[in-house]
């Protein structure tokens, strides 16, 4: 099974892409745990909540991996947790940093910011997308992991991923 991790700023189509590819490849995708966690929280989140979210995300990833076929499409990961934490609180919990180094993925997909921003109750940074994209790109380069940058309409993104998954050995 190949693990494909989608990452990048808010509102860049990660969830929609993971969902669509999972449907087309008849497999499962790992949703973003933060959405469920924050919807049930009943208060504004704080820095301590980020560690709980990170642990929940990885627990879901492990659970969904047991049901996956050829691919496991993962909506978000520890890089999002690191960038989110550092951007908002100027630091990141060591456990998140350790997991970021430890977890292995066959391909990281950095979703571009050319899809229009869609407001949502948990989205906070509509005006920082360009800066955040640059942070994600720099972090991926520093990690030294295999990644692609994915731009274009939602349909173009799906088509590019289908081409990549069909014609390359990730």
Given pLDDT bands bounded at 50, 70 and 90, which one contains residue 124?
Answer: confident
Given pLDDT bands bounded at 50, 70 and 90, which one contains residue 121?
Answer: low
Mean pLDDT of 43-64: 97
Q: Which CATH fold topology does 2-167 show?
A: Rossmann fold (3.40.50)
Compute the distance between CA of residue 61 and CA of residue 58 in angstroms, rounded to an integer: 5
Compute the distance between CA of residue 16 and CA of residue 29 in angstroms, rounded to an integer: 10
Angle at 91 between CA 36 and CA 11, to 5 degrees: 40
> What pTM, to 2 d.p., does this model score?
0.94
pLDDT at residue 122 greater than cutoff 90: no
- Produce one character per residue of 138-168: b if its CB has 16 or more CB atoms within 10 Å, e if not: ebbeeeebebeebeeeeeebbeebeeebeee
Token representation of residue 44? 């504004």
Token representation of residue 104? 């292995």
Compute the distance between CA of residue 85 and CA of residue 38 in angstroms, rounded to an integer: 15
| Residue range 15-46, pLDDT digits in tens | 999 999 999 999 999 999 999 999 999 899 99
Nearest to 122 by CA among 32, 61, 51: 32
Sign of the torsion formed by the C-alpha atoms of 13, 14, 19 and 20: positive
Compute the distance between CA of residue 16 and CA of residue 75 in angstroms, rounded to an integer: 9
């Amino acid at each position: 099974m190949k693990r494909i991790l989608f990452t990048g700023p808010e509102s860049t189509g990660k969830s929609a892409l993971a969902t669509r590819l999972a449907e087309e490849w008849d497999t499962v995708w790992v949703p973003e745990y933060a959405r469920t966690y924050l919807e049930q929280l009943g208060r504004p989140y704080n820095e301590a909540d980020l560690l709980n979210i990170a642990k929940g995300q990885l627990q879901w990833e492990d659970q969904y991996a047991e049901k996956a076929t050829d691919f496991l499409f993962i909506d978000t990961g520890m890089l999002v947790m690191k960038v989110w934490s550092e951007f908002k609180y100027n630091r990141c919990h060591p456990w998140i940093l350790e997991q970021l180094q430890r977890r292995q993925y066959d391909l990281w997909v950095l979703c571009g910011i050319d899809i229009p921003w869609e407001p949502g109750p948990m989205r906070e940074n509509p005006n920082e997308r360009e800066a955040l994209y640059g942070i994600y790109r720099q972090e991926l380069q520093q990690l030294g992991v295999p990644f692609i940058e994915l731009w274009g309409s939602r349909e173009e993104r799906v088509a590019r991923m289908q081409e990549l998954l069909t014609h390359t050995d990730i």
